[in-house]
């Protein structure tokens, strides 16, 4: 399979219809719109309806990604779904999505690296495509984070939202670059920085809601994201000035601004939608990427940099060259 490249050929995203604003929190928490926006960059987020689940959001985003790629579900070899909020403990949410889509030929599995999950998923997809193990994959990030929140905790309740994003990754023998250099890392010694203490096999007596050490997380996120991005750029022989668009995990506007400043990237080269969605964990990057593509901010031959930091702790970055138009021409 030498010479085969993994290429993103379609993107899609979906957000629940319910909008929850900062003023909604101010009605019952000691906070206000100005306080939240100044510290996080968030002004609103989407919240799933009671009857909506992670698989529902994933199916909506996946359907759009498949349509953009010009594929039907039966064309897929596999589905990789990144989530920390599965519908049920098992089977995997990916299997539920496979059934709903009618992707009868596809294998399906979940992976959980929380906010870094989509970058992890693309890393796996790239390896499978370039090794010849698969030729058409759906990589999804889908989360219903609102089900894991303590709504009385001002430090975490205001941060998260629900959503899903998806991309189709295909094999191409004509693409110049496609998915280039990806690096993922983890350091489980710091698991307590961001975690959900209850709900698993360990009997902790704690509730299944998010706990986070905000200050420590902020400092580590900025440091590790910078190191991760620099590692990927060095391995690719690319300078930050050659990046057309940075699509970072949308965790906090201050983290995004600090990282952008350290890389010397102007605002017009950074994709930001945290103001409208909050932190949607594994869905964050694919939702932002889909919006950037549909808004014309990503064009053929341009380099795009993805980077994320999440619970685990986990982090990772990936460099890609946008080759979707080239791939569609090769198929035709």
Mind telling me the catalytic residues? Answer: 115, 249, 279
Output the six-digit token pair for 283.
Answer: 């869905």
Question: Are 121 and 94 contacting, i.e. CB atoms less than 8 angstroms apart?
Answer: no
On the 0-12 / 13-18 / 19+ scale of CB atoms within 10 A, 89 is: exposed
Q: With contact defined as beta carbons under 8 Å apart, do 181 and 319 qualify?
A: yes
Please return the burial class of 19, using the count of CB atoms within 10 Å of its CB with bins 0-12, 13-18 and 19+: middle
Beta bridge partners of 164: 14, 142
Q: Strand ranges (DSSP E) for the chain?
A: 5-14, 18-21, 44-47, 78-82, 107-111, 136-144, 162-172, 179-186, 194-195, 211-212, 245-248, 303-310, 314-321
Structure tokens at 68: 């953009």
Q: For residue 209, what are the β-bridge partners?
A: none
DSSP assignment of 287-332 equals HHHHHHHHTT-S-TT-EEEEEEEETTTEEEEEEEE--HHHHHHHH-
**The pair of three-digit structure tokens given for residue 117, joined into one six-digit string:** 């999950």
Say if CB 235 and CB 181 are below 8 A apart. yes
Sequence-distant (6+) residues with CB within 8 A of 270 are 245, 246, 248, 256, 260
Q: What secondary structure letter does DSSP report for 166?
A: E
């Amino acid at each position: 399979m030498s010479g085969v490249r993994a290429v993103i050929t379609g993107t899609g995203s979906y957000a629940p219809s319910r909008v929850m604003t900062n003023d909604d929190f101010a009605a019952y928490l000691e906070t206000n719109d100005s306080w939240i926006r100044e510290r996080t960059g968030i002004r609103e987020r989407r919240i799933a309806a009671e009857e909506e689940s992670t698989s529902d959001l994933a199916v909506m985003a996946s359907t759009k990604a498949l349509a953009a790629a010009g594929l039907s579900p039966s064309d897929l070899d596999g589905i990789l779904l990144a989530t920390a909020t599965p519908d049920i403990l098992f089977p995997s949410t990916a299997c539920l999505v496979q059934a709903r889509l009618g992707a009868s030929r596809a294998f399906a599995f979940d992976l959980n690296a929380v906010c870094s999950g989509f970058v992890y998923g693309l890393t796996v997809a790239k390896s499978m495509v370039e090794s010849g193990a698969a030729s058409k994959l759906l990589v999804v990030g889908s989360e219903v984070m609102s089900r894991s929140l303590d709504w009385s905790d001002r430090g975490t309740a205001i941060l998260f939202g629900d959503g899903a994003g998806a991309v189709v990754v295909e094999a191409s023998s004509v693409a110049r670059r496609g998915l280039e250099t990806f690096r993922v890392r983890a350091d489980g010694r710091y698991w307590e920085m961001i975690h959900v203490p209850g709900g698993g096999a360990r009997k902790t007596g704690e509730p299944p809601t998010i706990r986070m050490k905000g200050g420590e997380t902020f400092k580590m996120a900025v440091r590790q994201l910078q190191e991760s991005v620099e590692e990927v750029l060095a391995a690719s022989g690319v300078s930050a000035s050659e990046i057309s668009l940075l699509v970072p995990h949308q965790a906090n506007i201050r983290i995004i601004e600090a990282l952008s400043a350290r890389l010397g990237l102007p605002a017009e080269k950074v994709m930001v939608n945290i103001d409208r969605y909050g932190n949607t964990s594994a869905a964050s990057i694919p939702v932002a990427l889909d919006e950037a593509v549909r808004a014309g901010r990503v064009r053929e031959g341009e380099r795009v940099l993805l980077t994320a930091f999440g619970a685990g702790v986990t982090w990772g970055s990936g460099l890609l060259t946008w080759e979707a138009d080239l791939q569609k021409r090769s198929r035709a």
